[in-house]
Amino acid sequence: MAALSDEVKQAWANREGAVILTTINSSGIPNSIYATCVSLFDNKLVVADNYFDKTRANIKGGSKGSILFMTKEGKAYQAKGELEYHESGPVFDDMKKWNPKQHPGHAAAALKVDEVYSGADKLL
């Protein structure tokens, strides 16, 4: 896992709208979801598992993943890496602080970022 650059951290802080989290099942079939309950924790992009089904199964099956997000200025960023699934511990505890109370927050999916792109430009 690489440390996120200041540019990527600023873009994440300046994102607008939902992010798109993509995972892959054991047959190589991708699954993408919109997610709005997201945060940054220790250089990991975190998505709350409020209503995952296929996404949860893919992560537990060892899927790598990507998160695509847009800034308020319309610039796209895509982060890629390994996914972790936290049902307890520091990442989970942090998610419970920011995840809206009306959502179940079953777990926290954390993307350990290996690469970041903005368009064709590799930033990390």
pLDDT tens figures, 7-42? 999 999 999 999 999 999 999 999 999 999 999 999
Return the domain boundaries, the chain.
6-122
For domain 6-122, give the fold: Pnp Oxidase; Chain A (2.30.110)
pTM above 0.85, yes or no: yes
Other Cβ atoms closer than 10 A to 119: 10
Residue with token string 């290996």: 114
The Cα–Cα gap between 23 and 21 comes to 7
Does an H or E element contain 10, and which?
A: helix 6-13
Helix (H, G, I), strand (E, B) or coil at 48: strand
Condensed to tens digits (0 to 9), the pLDDT of residues 93-124 reads: 999 999 999 999 999 999 999 999 999 999 98
